[in-house]
């Protein structure tokens, strides 16, 4: 791939702002709306923000690490940027769509690139009924919460909750409990990417639960539906020697 028009975007971190000034002084650049590719400078949090902001723009995003965590970023280097972009390998991601209903009957929609998570709001555990494709798989899960993760998000919160790491091309979603109390031995499930997952909150008034799709939180939900939005595709660009598929594979062999 060859990109003629480059746009730069940076987080507020001093290192990212310094890199932005250097790159804009060195390379011709345009506004994001006019660009063929967006170069994002920061950490994984900023990359997620950029992906959400440009989710319908159809422009590939190439990240360079100028933040804290850089799993979704390439190494930072001011040299040979156009050559690196031309040699970069694409990774296609599909977000999750969350539809949540709250105790007032209002419905809320949000997209998640990493995961949709349900979390208890009080000192009491949540009680959830879990459905997959309309079939009740767990009548009552007593827990701190549960999440549905994409492959891209499987090394983030999902991994911290002891969920499985999923290769990008596996066409799977992870369903992972957070501190399950009953059934105590249930550790989660791998689902096909076409799965329709639904959660019903038992005793929602007594045991309040929030639903979070990446940055969007809905409080006091009564039911939550999660599906993959296959019509939306986000493209990340990675250097060939350090592509996303290889990074996820390496994570499975870390000591």
Digit-by-digit pLDDT tens for the chain (255 residues) are 678 899 999 999 999 999 999 999 999 999 999 999 999 999 999 999 999 999 988 899 999 999 887 788 999 999 999 999 999 999 899 999 999 999 999 999 999 999 999 999 999 999 999 999 999 999 999 999 999 999 989 989 999 999 999 988 889 999 999 999 999 889 999 999 999 999 999 999 999 999 999 999 999 999 999 999 999 999 999 998 777 788 788 887 877
Query: Could you give the CA distance from residue 105 to residue 244 in angstroms, rounded to a whole number?
Result: 40
Q: What's the CATH number where 244 sits?
A: 3.40.50.10330
Alpha helices of 27-78 — where are they, by DSSP H? 44-53
109 and 28 assigned to the same domain: no
- Domain assignment present for 239: yes
Q: What's the CATH number where 133 sits?
A: 2.60.200.30
- The residues, any chain, with a CB within 8 Å of residue 135's CB and separated by 6 or more, are none
User: What are the tokens at 97?
Assistant: 């769509």
- Domain assignment present for 22: yes
220 and 154 assigned to the same domain: yes
Range of the domain at 21: 6-93+233-251
Q: Are strands 96-102 and 126-132 parallel, antiparallel or unpaired?
A: unpaired
- Domain assignment present for 130: yes
Helix (H) or strand (E) holding 147: strand 145-149
52 and 116 assigned to the same domain: no
75 and 105 assigned to the same domain: no
145 and 245 assigned to the same domain: no
- Classify each residue of 195-224 as buried b or exposed e, where b means 16 or more C-beta atoms within 10 Å of its C-beta: bebbbbbbebeebbbbbbbbebebebbbbb
- Domain assignment present for 174: yes
53 and 69 assigned to the same domain: yes
Query: Could you give the CA distance from residue 108 to residue 210 in angstroms, rounded to a whole number?
Result: 12
126 and 216 assigned to the same domain: yes
Query: Could you give the CA distance from residue 116 to residue 212 in angstroms, rounded to a whole number?
Result: 6
Structural domain count, the chain = 2
- Domain assignment present for 18: yes
40 and 101 assigned to the same domain: no
pLDDT in tens, 51-62: 999 998 889 999
- Domain assignment present for 1: no
Annotated active-site residue in 44, 77, 80, 205 = 44
215 and 239 assigned to the same domain: no
Active site annotation includes 220 = no
84 and 208 assigned to the same domain: no
What is the pLDDT, as a whole number, of residue 67? 86
- Domain assignment present for 148: yes
32 and 145 assigned to the same domain: no
204 and 243 assigned to the same domain: no
Token pair 């798989």 is at which residue?
137
- Domain assignment present for 66: yes
């Amino acid at each position: 791939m060859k990109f003629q028009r480059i746009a730069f975007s940076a987080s507020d971190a001093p290192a990212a702002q310094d890199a932005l000034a250097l790159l804009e002084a060195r390379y011709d650049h345009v506004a994001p709306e006019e660009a063929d590719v967006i170069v994002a400078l920061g950490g994984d949090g900023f990359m997620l923000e950029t992906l959400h902001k440009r989710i319908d723009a159809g422009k590939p995003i190439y990240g360079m690490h100028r933040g804290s965590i850089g799993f979704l970023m390439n190494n930072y280097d001011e040299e040979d940027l156009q050559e690196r972009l031309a040699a970069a390998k694409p990774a296609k991601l599909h977000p999750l769509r969350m539809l949540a209903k709250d105790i007032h009957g209002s419905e809320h929609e949000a997209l998640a690139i990493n995961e949709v998570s349900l979390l208890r709001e009080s000192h009491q555990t949540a009680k959830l009924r879990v459905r997959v494709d309309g079939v009740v798989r767990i009548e009552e899960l007593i827990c701190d919460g549960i999440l549905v993760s994409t492959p891209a998000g499987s090394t983030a919160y999902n991994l911290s909750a002891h969920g499985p790491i999923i290769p990008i091309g596996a066409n799977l979603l992870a369903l992972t409990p957070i501190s399950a109390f009953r059934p105590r031995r249930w550790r989660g499930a791998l689902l096909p990417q076409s799965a329709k997952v639904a959660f019903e909150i038992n005793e929602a008034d007594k045991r309040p639960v929030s639903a979070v799709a990446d940055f969007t939180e809905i409080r006091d939900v009564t039911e939550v539906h999660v599906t993959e939005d296959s019509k939306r595709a986000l493209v990340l660009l990675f250097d060939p020697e350090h592509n996303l598929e290889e990074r996820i594979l390496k994570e499975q062999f870390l000591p």
